[in-house]
Chain A
């Protein structure tokens, strides 16, 4: 920046194309010309007047960048900066800028204020028991929520601005001493290497962090719930918070994370274990039920008990579609209903349910277009998908692929495709964590919190599935002195 105040103002004005949203308030303090710059709507003007302008006007000391923050201003956050790009970036993020004549430094004032929603329960992960707070779109708020839960001095953050035009702040959060430094460095270097116009949500970052770019499988963990992210940090994982997104990312990710839910830890361990098995079985039902149905109907009718076979024959008699086409038609119908219910205005939702359930389902069966078993199978599969909502996108695709395999090659096709996917996923390590850990490879100590959930009292060690070199293996204390984390 220049020494002359006017030159600096002109430069900033030119950079912003003389925008009317750029407000410049020129004042004189002890006969020294000063100017406060901010962008309309992004800054707390009351705080600006009270904490910056008023103290400057009433000051009895000649302002300089050195003495202003300490001796004149009553604002807490004021940082000296000479780099033009950083000053502009701060302005864009709602900070106020104070220029003093004959000084090339500017003071960046932390008076940004955005309207943000309160941390409500996120719609993606509602719980019966346990904390209901969710992350919001503000990075600052999200960090403060996390700090409130993980109250340790070992909580570290590394921030980087990503996006040529959006300059979105991306912050890596981890607990020093628990997280693997290699993972932190790897995440940091990947984020720093991102070349993109703008980051509008954390999912933009997800795609850069993934090891297998074109894979349909989830490779990065995500959550809107602070308690979940905090628990992952305590296990030694690394969190990535993106400004403007309530979805916080976590690495490394292992498959069983999605089988687990925060509720599990707030309820009885036997119940939690049972529910985890239910989720696992529903995941299998969601993928395999249409495929198995079509396989037995087309290729292995001997595998169906006789009474059930007779029922199926009676209900499918005279259908215009082949069983394979029929199940594909019902699957497509279900997908259409799902997409429509997502995009449709809320007040039309009820009407859509009636249309979907009664008209399309019941009437199509009565009209003899589709059979009741096909509708039932697809409905059960569709319901099962939502026992693990985080896996829903890939389960939809897998269900379709398995249906094709079952239709074309029966059980053989299903088995071959299962082995193919198991080989594909077993070969996959996300930031040092095997996808199917702690089952494959077997990590005995981590089995206490896998498909079975032991009593928390017995879970004395932190997971080793993805952090084999962790020094603080015991869950109790050892981070910040005794019992720093309860």
Chain B
């Protein structure tokens, strides 16, 4: 059976991938740069993400039979394709480790008084080792299964604080001008550009009549949700937002409504944990996919073992150092590199598509000429 990802599954993968990293450490971080204007910075970044998604979707649809690697290889050559795929591998790998570190800190802040690092890393390692033997279709199906309870859980997280929401905390806007907003956007590039996850899905999505519109709609819905979350977050915590380092965990914990109903916040916490874990698995699968594409190993287990060992080792070496990792990610140099990469990927895709189309046209015209001669 052909293992393809349906539009629905691709949309949900994109959705989960987009929200996961944005609702944990990021809100507090953005607030530290631009104060209550952080939701405006977030809005601008989300709009850029949406535009990027639309462009990517257009080209992915145009070359739906080809994977990203095949498209680059056919247009820019094998060496360039390998270099770009290697950059993607590192990108997915770093994001995966970052998510797992956030997951750990989220556990410490919400679920556990003390978390045995050996247990945590071993269990995660085993789970990732198993999960990356699967493909995007499988993870897509799992997300389809957990999506509705997840949506209900997170919607509750957004609805409950509305009672305590103070709109005045969102104002005044542009108090310090546009620079802090610009700085926020420039420094937090690591948390945006989620359309990149569409690249490993390229050539695997089963496009139907309205697939492009459907995917764009899902992305639009997801980004609107993220924006609303930032409004609720800033509106709830105000100037204390900087200290709420795990936004989605803190929001229900500091809210009176779920506790009145009866510890309902724990449900959200558990759901959010599952989302972070699923997101890490998506990234691990994408990393393994890139590894297999680059090294073309006949034995698929090599990629599985190498990636798992890589994740486990990096996680062990950077254990309890999420702050340091984030500080590195928001450093001007690294943030610029990541931001440039987001744009470069789109440009590369456009250029490759143009070259590829020209080559195809050339080939077809050559064939036509030959036919004419024969006639």
Interface residues of B in 1-29 (CB under 8 A from A): 1, 6, 8-9
A410-B111, A416-B277 are contacts. A422–B123 as well, Cβ < 8 Å? no
Q: Which residues of A contact B274 (CB under 8 A)?
A: 415, 418-419
Question: How many interface residues does chain A have, given as a range?
Answer: 20 to 34
Of B126-134, B162-170, B173-181, B313-321, the segment with at least 4 beta carbons within 8 Å of chain A is: B126-134
Compute how far the CA of A424 lies from the CA of B262 in the bound complex, rounded to whole angstroms.
34
Which one, B9, B123, B140, contacts A409 given CB within 8 A?
B123
Compute how far the CA of A422 lies from the CA of B270 in the bound complex, rounded to whole angstroms.
16
Compute how far the CA of A434 lies from the CA of B137 in the bound complex, rounded to whole angstroms.
11
Residue of A whose beta carbon sits closest to that of B259: A305
Compute how far the CA of A411 lies from the CA of B112 in the bound complex, rounded to whole angstroms.
9
Q: Which residues of B contact A408 (CB under 8 A)?
A: 119
A350 located at the interface, meaning its Cβ lies under 8 Å from any Cβ of chain B in the complex: no
A429-B1, A436-B141, A441-B9 are contacts. A416–B111 as well, Cβ < 8 Å? no
Shortest Cβ gap from B11 to chain A (Å): 11
Interface residues of A in 284-304 (CB under 8 A from B): 299-300, 303-304
Which one, B8, B111, B138, B263, contacts A411 given CB within 8 A?
B111
Q: Is the CB–CB distance between A441 and B111 below 8 Å?
A: no
Q: Is the CB–CB distance between A416 and B127 below 8 Å?
A: yes
B146 located at the interface, meaning its Cβ lies under 8 Å from any Cβ of chain A in the complex: yes
B160 located at the interface, meaning its Cβ lies under 8 Å from any Cβ of chain A in the complex: no
Which one, B6, B123, B145, B266, contacts A303 given CB within 8 A?
B266
Q: Which residues of B contact A410 (CB under 8 A)?
A: 111-112
Q: Is the CB–CB distance between A432 and B277 below 8 Å?
A: no
A439-B144, A442-B6 are contacts. A426–B138 as well, Cβ < 8 Å? yes
Chain B 342-374 against A: per-residue CB contact (8 Å), 1 yes, 0 no?
000000000000000000000000000000000
Q: Which residues of A contact B134 (CB under 8 A)?
A: 423, 426-427
Compute how far the CA of A418 lies from the CA of B266 in the bound complex, rounded to whole angstroms.
17
Q: Which residues of A contact B278 (CB under 8 A)?
A: 419
Interface residues of B in 113-172 (CB under 8 A from A): 115, 119-120, 123-124, 127, 130-131, 134, 138-142, 144-146
Q: Is the CB–CB distance between B112 and A440 below 8 Å?
A: no
Compute how far the CA of A143 lies from the CA of B278 in the bound complex, rounded to whole angstroms.
48
Shortest Cβ gap from B195 to chain A (Å): 23
Q: Which residues of A contact B283 (CB under 8 A)?
A: none
Q: Is the CB–CB distance between A426 and B131 below 8 Å?
A: no
Q: Which residues of B contact A104 (CB under 8 A)?
A: none
Which one, A418, A426, A441, contacts B6 given CB within 8 A?
A441
Q: Which residues of A contact B144 (CB under 8 A)?
A: 436, 439-442
Residue of A whose beta carbon sits closest to that of B281: A419
Compute how far the CA of A434 lies from the CA of B130 in the bound complex, rounded to whole angstroms.
20
Residue among A426, A432, A434 with the most chain B CB within 10 A? A426
Q: Which residues of A contact B281 (CB under 8 A)?
A: 419, 423
Shortest Cβ gap from B104 to chain A (Å): 10
Question: How many interface residues does chain B have, given as a range?
Answer: 20 to 34
Chain B 255-291 against A: per-residue CB contact (8 Å), 1 yes, 0 no?
0000000110010001001100110010000000000
Compute how far the CA of A416 lies from the CA of B206 in the bound complex, rounded to whole angstroms.
29
Which one, B145, B263, B277, contacts A426 given CB within 8 A?
B145
Q: Which residues of B contact A304 (CB under 8 A)?
A: 263
Interface residues of A in 428-471 (CB under 8 A from B): 429, 432, 434, 436, 439-442
Q: Is the CB–CB distance between B127 and A420 below 8 Å?
A: yes
Q: Is the CB–CB distance between B120 and A422 below 8 Å?
A: no
B225 located at the interface, meaning its Cβ lies under 8 Å from any Cβ of chain A in the complex: no
Residue of B whose beta carbon sits closest to that of A426: B141
Residue among A305, A418, A442 with the most chain B CB within 10 A? A442
Chain A 403-419 against B: per-residue CB contact (8 Å), 1 yes, 0 no?
00000111111011011
Q: Which residues of A contact B138 (CB under 8 A)?
A: 423, 426-427
B43 located at the interface, meaning its Cβ lies under 8 Å from any Cβ of chain A in the complex: no
Q: Which residues of A contact B207 (CB under 8 A)?
A: none
Q: Which residues of A contact B112 (CB under 8 A)?
A: 299-300, 410, 412
Interface residues of A in 259-306 (CB under 8 A from B): 299-300, 303-305
B107 located at the interface, meaning its Cβ lies under 8 Å from any Cβ of chain A in the complex: yes
Q: Is the CB–CB distance between B277 and A434 below 8 Å?
A: no
Q: Is the CB–CB distance between B111 and A299 below 8 Å?
A: yes
Compute how far the CA of A427 lies from the CA of B131 in the bound complex, rounded to whole angstroms.
10
Interface residues of A in 160-175 (CB under 8 A from B): none
Residue of B whose beta carbon sits closest to that of A412: B107
Compute how far the CA of A370 lies from the CA of B139 in the bound complex, rounded to whole angstroms.
41
Q: Which residues of B contact A440 (CB under 8 A)?
A: 140-142, 144-145
Q: Is the CB–CB distance between B131 and A419 below 8 Å?
A: yes
Q: Is the CB–CB distance between B270 and A434 below 8 Å?
A: no
Compute how far the CA of A423 lies from the CA of B137 in the bound complex, rounded to whole angstroms.
10
Compute how far the CA of A31 lies from the CA of B277 in the bound complex, rounded to whole angstroms.
88
Compute how far the CA of A100 lies from the CA of B281 in the bound complex, rounded to whole angstroms.
74
Q: Which residues of A contact B130 (CB under 8 A)?
A: 420, 423-424
Which one, A423, A439, A441, contacts B139 given CB within 8 A?
A423
Residue of B whose beta carbon sits closest to that of A434: B141
Q: Which residues of B contact A434 (CB under 8 A)?
A: 141
Residue of B whose beta carbon sits closest to that of A435: B141
Compute how far the CA of A415 lies from the CA of B127 in the bound complex, rounded to whole angstroms.
11
A419-B131, A420-B127 are contacts. A411–B141 as well, Cβ < 8 Å? no
Q: Is the CB–CB distance between B142 and A422 below 8 Å?
A: yes
Q: Which residues of B contact A422 (CB under 8 A)?
A: 142, 145-146
Compute how far the CA of A410 lies from the CA of B134 in the bound complex, rounded to whole angstroms.
26
Shortest Cβ gap from B225 to chain A (Å): 20
Q: Which residues of A contact B120 (CB under 8 A)?
A: 412
Q: Is the CB–CB distance between B273 and A412 below 8 Å?
A: yes
Q: Which residues of A contact B6 (CB under 8 A)?
A: 441-442
A305-B263, A441-B9 are contacts. A415–B142 as well, Cβ < 8 Å? no
Q: Which residues of A contact B140 (CB under 8 A)?
A: 440-441
Q: Which residues of B contact A436 (CB under 8 A)?
A: 141, 144-145
Q: Which residues of B contact A424 (CB under 8 A)?
A: 130
Chain B 229-269 against A: per-residue CB contact (8 Å), 1 yes, 0 no?
00000000000000000000000000000000011001000
Compute how far the CA of A409 lies from the CA of B141 in the bound complex, rounded to whole angstroms.
26
Q: Is the CB–CB distance between A300 and B145 below 8 Å?
A: no
Compute how far the CA of A261 lies from the CA of B138 in the bound complex, rounded to whole angstroms.
28
Compute how far the CA of A427 lies from the CA of B111 in the bound complex, rounded to whole angstroms.
30
Compute how far the CA of A442 lies from the CA of B1 in the bound complex, rounded to whole angstroms.
17
| Across the A-B interface, the 3 shortest Cβ-Cβ residue pairs | A440-B144, A426-B141, A440-B141
22 A–B contacts, CB within 8 A, in A order:
A300-B112, A303-B263, A305-B262, A411-B111, A411-B270, A412-B107, A415-B270, A415-B273, A415-B274, A415-B277, A416-B127, A419-B274, A419-B281, A420-B127, A423-B130, A423-B134, A423-B281, A426-B141, A427-B141, A439-B144, A441-B8, A441-B9
Other A-B contacts than A422-B146, A427-B134, A436-B141, 7 sampled, CB-CB below 8 A, are A416-B124, A416-B127, A416-B277, A419-B278, A432-B1, A436-B145, A439-B145
